[in-house]
Amino acid sequence: MTAKDLLNQGVNLARRRDCTGAIAIFNTVIEYLPNYAKAYYNRGSAHYTLGNYARAIEDFSWAIHLSPDYASAYINRGNVQRQLGHLDAALDDFEHGIQLTPLSARGYCNRGLLRLDMGNYTGAVRDFDYALKLEPHLPRGYLWRGVAWLQCGDFSLAIHDLNRALTLTPDCAKTYNYRGLAHFYQAEHPQAMADFDQAISLSQNFADAYNNRATLQMEFGDYRGAMQDYCKALKLSPSLPKGYPQTLEQLHPELQDSPTSGKAALLNNRGNTRATLGDSHGALDDYTEALRLAPNHAYIHHNRGLVQLYLHHYELAVTDFSAAIRLNPQCAEAFSHRGGIRQHLGDLDKALQDVNRAIELTPSLATAYVHRGRIYVDLHNYQAAMADFDQALILQPNAAHTLNERSVLRFRLKDVEGALADVNRALELQPQFSDAYINRSLIRFDRGDRSGAFSDIDVVMTIHQHRPAPPDDRAIA
């Protein structure tokens, strides 16, 4: 199997939204072909999907450095910059991509979406015009141009474009929702209601459509129906739209009661339970409400930070861990987790300060040694990294992820047998550990065991092939 074959396997995993597994494969490809621009590009795309924006930008930048005419790398880096709110940088990247591929609709669509963000609605319309001249049957081109017309206040043109989009993709819930808004603004209430109903029929978890239908039901005087839709929208959406506050007061009058520490504790505990059961957004809701009632409780900030970290909301997680530290400067776990995020984002100096403080406060905190070990790896201080991974495993000898990380480091230091022993132990502890199989395949390949290496890659594919890919609800990327 060549490195390029391995790259294709990574691409297939990424298409099925197993981006963590894909990144592990791309890491292997880059180790063998460090100047292969496509590997950096694909790894950057996987990091982007996971919300690892700093790493995505780094990878797209490397792809551009290695291949200066790589238009897709410019476009995708622009998308990351857009997500981060770096609108000028995003615009520069989109314009580079358009210059390199002036006959591709993709660049114009992405620049059009950026111009929507910037409030340049006429500029957005022009970009979607160009895209649709190049690809006259591009459904999202009509959808987003319809949104631009909607923002311009030209509701008739918006409806015209959204009709075209529905001709091409009749099952697009988003398009029905936007067309319903256009009808609503033209006081065409029956048509608006029909569109919101259809959007919900096509996507029963579409919070915005429930919210819009509730607003329309208020116009009709159907307050019971509106209440039901608002409740449904609130259950579906972890972040509340700006138009909700008065309705929330009607739905939850008890929130006007005097807060008590007991109530905040109950919300925190329910949040912990929801997080354990995988309901991350519900947990965030509970922690946020608990903090509204009791804003100076460090442990609630810490718990919310853990969920934000799990969801890859790194900046929000840092904010919560920082609040926990401010309220309780002895909270070693908060220092450790904040240090881990800072290492992940490349701020190694501050990361090292945080984990050193965590270890000073709680010398038995294994995760702090793991985080510091990763920092030392990034600093190429491999002996110090090894000492930290060793200490972490003394404290938690059955930590599969730490064993795998030490295995990777041992392999880098040419301790092949030690690396193999660690990864084998990791797989005994966690038989479905994809990263460990990929790591072991690399070790086996190095030892000349090609059959074993390919067998491990096959196991990775088997683990991931049954994972369903979530629908791609993002804009053109």
- Closest by CA to 127, choosing from 143, 111, 151, 103, is 111
What is the distance between the alpha carbons of residues 106 and 76, in angstroms, rounded to a whole number?
Answer: 10
Q: How confident is the model at residue 241 (pLDDT cuts 50, 70, 90)?
A: very low
pLDDT above 80 (res 349): yes
Calculate the alpha carbon distances from 172 to 105, 140, 188, 288, 329 in Å: 20, 10, 21, 33, 50
Model pLDDT for residues 159-204, shown as the tens digit of each residue: 999 999 999 999 999 999 999 999 999 999 999 999 999 999 999 9
Q: Can you give the pLDDT at residue 217? A: 82
Q: What angle do the packed helices 450-465 and 3-15 form, to 10 degrees?
A: 10
Q: Can you give the pLDDT at residue 227? A: 66
Q: Can you give the pLDDT at residue 461? A: 85
Model pLDDT for residues 112-144, shown as the tens digit of each residue: 999 999 999 999 999 999 999 999 999 999 999
Q: DSSP letters of 294-324? A: -TT-HHHHHHHHHHHHHTT-HHHHHHHHHHH
What is the distance between the alpha carbons of residues 81 and 113, in angstroms, rounded to a whole number?
Answer: 13
Give the mean model confidence (pLDDT) for residues 31-58: 93
**pTM for this entry:** 0.51
pLDDT averaged over every residue in the chain: 87
Please tell me which residue, 242 or 272, carries the higher pLDDT value: 272
Model pLDDT for residues 78-114, shown as the tens digit of each residue: 999 999 999 999 999 999 999 999 998 999 999 999 9
Element housing 222 (H / E)? none
Q: Can you give the pLDDT at residue 154? A: 94
DSSP 8-state assignment for residue 257? S
Inter-residue contact 88 to 114 (CB < 8 Å):
no
- 469: amino acid identity, one letter: A
Model pLDDT for residues 352-361, shown as the tens digit of each residue: 999 999 999 9
Q: How confident is the model at residue 213 (pLDDT cuts 50, 70, 90)?
A: confident
As its CATH architecture, domain 171-256 has Alpha Horseshoe (1.25)
What is the distance between the alpha carbons of residues 209 and 43, in angstroms, rounded to a whole number?
Answer: 34
Task: Tell which CATH classification among 3.40.50.800, 3.90.25.10, 1.25.40.10, 1.20.5.510 matches the domain 259-329.
Answer: 1.25.40.10
Q: Which residues of 99-118 are buried (b: 16+ CB within 10 A; e: fewer)?
A: ebbeebbbbbbbbbbbbbee
What is the distance between the alpha carbons of residues 198 and 313, in angstroms, rounded to a whole number?
Answer: 32
Please tell me which residue, 464 or 169, carries the higher pLDDT value: 169
User: What is the location of CATH 1.25.40.10 in the chain?
Assistant: 171-256, 259-329
